[in-house]
Structure 1
Amino acid sequence: MEIPYTTVPLFASNSTQKYDGYWINGRRTSNCLYANQTGPECQGIKAFNITDPLLSTTDWYQWGAGQPDFGYNPAAGGSECVAYRVTSDGGAGIDDLICGANLAFNVSLKGFVCGMHPDELLP
């Protein structure tokens, strides 16, 4: 049984950014780096390598509106990593963001989300 675990509360803060975000495991595959790469292997979460050994399924990954969008910044590169973003008005979803960015496309990144064995959650 998999239990989602976070290192910080999943709610929007008083940030000046539109969203608060939390990194989750996943890096875009080399076959799906560009928006014109649209084959079945590049659809949604399939475009990303997921390496968290505690994550047994990505069924709960629900993309935010208009995502993944292959966002690109000439100075920082393309959106190769995955984050979960939330707003105080209840909007939430998975987003593809520039890896290593602290503030990316109106998202203030606060921490990370990972899988955790259920027995590790017990006192």
Structure 2
Amino acid sequence: MFKRALGPWCMTPSFNTYCQNYTATAVSCTKTPNERVAGWNWLNSSYPLYAIWISGVRKPECVGNASCQGMSAFSFADPTLSASPTGYLFNTGKPDGTGADCLAFRVNSDRTCGIDNIQCDQIRTSDNSTCLSGQICGFPPS
């Protein structure tokens, strides 16, 4: 649980044993913690690089709109984020306005990590080096 100015919020990773797009991984966030698969070992052995989806989808009015840039171009499911969230540490040059409309936390080839905007329907990168196989799920505390 994280204590934020706008209220408490719980977050946990939810992993799958296969690559999935943004919409498919969102379903895994509705499962209880003991229904989730802890898949870091699988990720590390099957793909040299890995990524997990996080909350953040480009707003409909910003799709294809070059003047709609940065964090303000995305909507977030987490109601406790501040108006200008500072915890999102993006890879260099990201987010960009390329039509890659969902956000993912990824490990880069140089073993740095950060947030990237990726096409929502992708399950792996075009060079097949990175599997998108989970999502960070957020819940109000119960």
Q: CA deviation at 1:5?
A: 1.5
Number of residue pairs the alignment of both structures matches: 106
Alignment map for 1:57-76 (pairs within 5 Å) = 57=81, 58-71=85-98
Match of 1:74 in 2: none
Question: Matched residue of 1:103: which SS?
Answer: coil
1:55/1:5 CA distance change after superposition, 3 Å: farther
Letter in 1 for 2:12: Y
- Match of 2:54, SS state, is strand
Q: Does 1:56 align with 2:83?
A: no
- % identical equivalent positions: 30
Q: Counterpart in 2 of 1:93?
A: 114
How far did residue 100 of structure 1 move? 2.0
More helix by share: 2
The Cα shift of 1:10 comes to 9.1
Aligned to 2:52: 22
Query: CA offset at residue 28 of structure 1?
Result: 0.9
Query: Which TM-score applies when normalising by structure 1?
Result: 0.66
- Report the residue type matching 1:93 in the other structure: G
> Deviations 1:79-111 (Å, cap 9, x if unpaired)?
111111124864111111111211135531011
Is 1:7 paired with 2:14? yes
Q: So what's the TM-score if we normalise by structure 2?
A: 0.59
Residue in structure 1 matching 2:66, options 28, 34, 37: 37
AA partner of residue 13 (structure 2): T
| Contact 1:31/1:37 (<8 A) preserved | no
Q: What are the ranges of 5 or more consecutive residues in structure 1 without an aligned counterpart?
A: 72-77
**Alignment-derived partner of residue 108 in structure 1:** 131
**Closer, same or farther: CA 102–59 of 1 in aligned 2, 3 Å:** same
